Structure 1
């Protein structure tokens, strides 16, 4: 959201940071690079330092990245800032679902993890709105405030009981579970035992990295996951996020600006996500994935045809 609303301002003559289109693409892609580089270290960090502690450290790094954005007027430092944000995204995407899964009851676990994506879209909406109606510096200051504000409620939450059991701190695990269940420790013996059994079983059946490629079941799961991940990226949704304003500037007209079209798009994404969350357990994950892939195919086909006609021919598409 930030890239879509702010970068067009920086590419204008006389902007506070002189930037070429090529440099702006690096500002965008560095977030994805940082996120990719931290996928494996994030798994180690959340087991070594804790789920909650890792997420709190991300807040500090987010704040540092926005301070760099505020205090500097250089493309190099802006790229560094975005790279740090990418690092944090990698840790959050790994740590947050695990933390939520481990502190929640099984009956609401799926719903809470779905809310993560919904809140992602809420953040996208806010980024579009803030970036559209405020200045470059104001956007950075608001983002800095949100980064700091995020850590305050998290500080007062308990660490995951699974993490405490993993570290052989049973007393702390009981306190943590009692906090999240609002129950007396004596009523949680069965659940604590189930957590201990799960952690013990997970430790005794820990597989090596090479087993992902040598074990047929593990390799099949890896292959499915990679196909879904690549499919998600190649639908063009990431490019649509970051270039939404520029895309709509080629197509929009009338009383609605490209920035406002981007806001409308993000609201629609949130609505569709909420609908998908509701019907997911009713019709299944696989049918939703298939419908989504078919929908993305036709959407990209229509978009490609439109831009080809608009940019490569003299046909009036207004």
Structure 2
């Protein structure tokens, strides 16, 4: 691949990855704010769960409609809608209104997160060359973890500006409002990237599609790729609605995408990402110490996502997923044991949680999006990804909503062991059912499913 093409495809990838940065920033901002919101409004465990996770209802809505809308008006335009949703949400929460107003603006932000979570990796998958596609889609996950890390620092900085009473009264609003800057950056950057070449081809805008592919692959390879895309699309000539996803062949692929998306979340990652300061406080640390340990979670998440980016196209998706699921199982067992046997005052919980984050960051974190963005046929990719990511957000909502209630009812030990059992299930699911897709073009992956005759 020529140097200019590589620079061009990386530029497009980095812009799409800003959608991931906003996803991470906007979902994790609640980790630093939830304790202050609880004090301000006197929230019960159930209400605390709802306030922490209400944005996820918006995520479900955004993910569900993003695919069909992007099939109609284009990937780029719908990503722009998500950027505006982020900006409106950040601005709205800064206004000193009540809890209901906060929830409405969080829902709007959630719609933006849901759209970006589905469309950013889809956009990257449709513009990326096969030999580096895993790495490029993983850069989207790097955007997510950098967004999480950035907001952990911003939260710690804002929380340290004044005293506790200021944080409870209005500091947490500034935490949410800080998201306005990256939202505006995303809007500006989106103006400078092309539409997805596969979407352009689907709309019969073949000259524009070839132009984008030429910038990525050079003229000769672009003509070959466009021919391959057109041949595949002619074979799938029927413009499929959601109902066609239930056809025998597609149904099997869709179920793999759905279950992988669910398992990536019910293994407990967002319980830790959203409630990390509260978990560390429950293990005996003070508020400021818990905040800094949370920053450490973000640092480890970032470093090991770099490992995934480096090795995903070399070792393959399946190998990394299996290593990650096995490691997560062991770490969750140790966290549960530390709480159960009363070792939670020492460093064991912090070390086990950081190791869990590391295993997640090389596997289910980035690679769920890689696999889900790769395995579906072009003519239904938007809608099929919508369905898979819809279930991912339903699972995130379920985990975020139930974590405080599980903590207060069955205790932290059993809560983390439940997530450990889910990690075991994830391991066997990947081992038995998830195919290896490294170095295959999207059209080759589609042919693979057809040859399986499923």
TM-score range, shorter chain: 0.7 to 0.9
Write the distance in 2 (CA, Å) between the matches of 1:316 and 1:262: 16
Does residue 240 of the first structure (1) align with residue 272 of the second (2)? yes
Q: 1:138 to 1:208 in 2, by over 3 A?
A: closer
Please give the per-residue CA displacement for 1:159-191, whole angstroms capped at 9, x wherever unaligned. Answer: 12222222222233234334x4385x6884333
Q: 1:228 to 1:267 in 2, by over 3 A?
A: same
Q: 1:150 to 1:187 in 2, by over 3 A?
A: same
What residue ranges of structure 1 are gaps of 5+ in the alignment? none
Does residue 193 of the first structure (1) align with residue 199 of the second (2)? no
Write the distance in 2 (CA, Å) between the matches of 1:254 and 1:71: 30
Write the distance in 2 (CA, Å) between the matches of 1:4 and 1:254: 15
Which gives a bigger RCO, structure 1 or 2 (Cα 8 Å, sep 6+)? 2
Please give the per-residue CA displacement for 1:210-257, whole angstroms capped at 9, x wherever unaligned. Answer: 565561x44433333333233222211111110001001122549971
RMSD: 2.7
1:144 aligns with one of 180, 184, 191: 180
Contact 1:125 1:267 in 2 (8 A): yes
Cα drift, residue 20 of structure 1: 1.0
Equivalence for 2:191: 155
Does residue 291 of the first structure (1) align with residue 319 of the second (2)? no
Q: Matched residue pairs, number?
A: 306
Equivalence for 1:20: 43
Does residue 229 of the first structure (1) align with residue 253 of the second (2)? no
Equivalence for 1:169: 205
Cα drift, residue 157 of structure 1: 1.4
Contact 2:338 2:344 in 1 (8 A): no
Cα drift, residue 263 of structure 1: 0.7
Moved more, 194-203 or 292-301: 194-203
**Runs of 4+ residues deviating >6 angstroms:** none
Write the distance in 2 (CA, Å) between the matches of 1:100 and 1:6: 32
Q: 1:283 to 1:191 in 2, by over 3 A?
A: closer
Q: 1:146 to 1:220 in 2, by over 3 A?
A: same
Write the distance in 1 (CA, Å) between the matches of 2:260 and 2:222: 38
Give SS of 1:243's match. Answer: helix
Cα drift, residue 63 of structure 1: 0.7
Equivalence for 1:29: 53
Equivalence for 1:60: 84
Does residue 91 of the first structure (1) align with residue 115 of the second (2)? yes
Does residue 266 of the first structure (1) align with residue 298 of the second (2)? yes
Write the distance in 2 (CA, Å) between the matches of 1:317 and 1:156: 51
Write the distance in 1 (CA, Å) between the matches of 2:48 and 2:230: 49
Write the distance in 2 (CA, Å) between the matches of 1:254 and 1:78: 27
Q: 1:229 to 1:164 in 2, by over 3 A?
A: closer
Give SS of 2:195's match. Answer: coil
Cα drift, residue 116 of structure 1: 0.8
Moved more, 161-170 or 193-202: 193-202
Cα drift, residue 59 of structure 1: 0.5
Q: 1:254 to 1:186 in 2, by over 3 A?
A: closer
What residue ranges of structure 2 are gaps of 5+ in the alignment? 1-27, 159-170, 347-454
Does residue 126 of the first structure (1) align with residue 150 of the second (2)? yes
Cα drift, residue 303 of structure 1: 1.8
Write the distance in 1 (CA, Å) between the matches of 2:38 and 2:307: 37
Write the distance in 1 (CA, Å) between the matches of 2:285 and 2:65: 46
Cα drift, residue 32 of structure 1: 2.3
Write the distance in 1 (CA, Å) between the matches of 2:241 and 2:221: 37
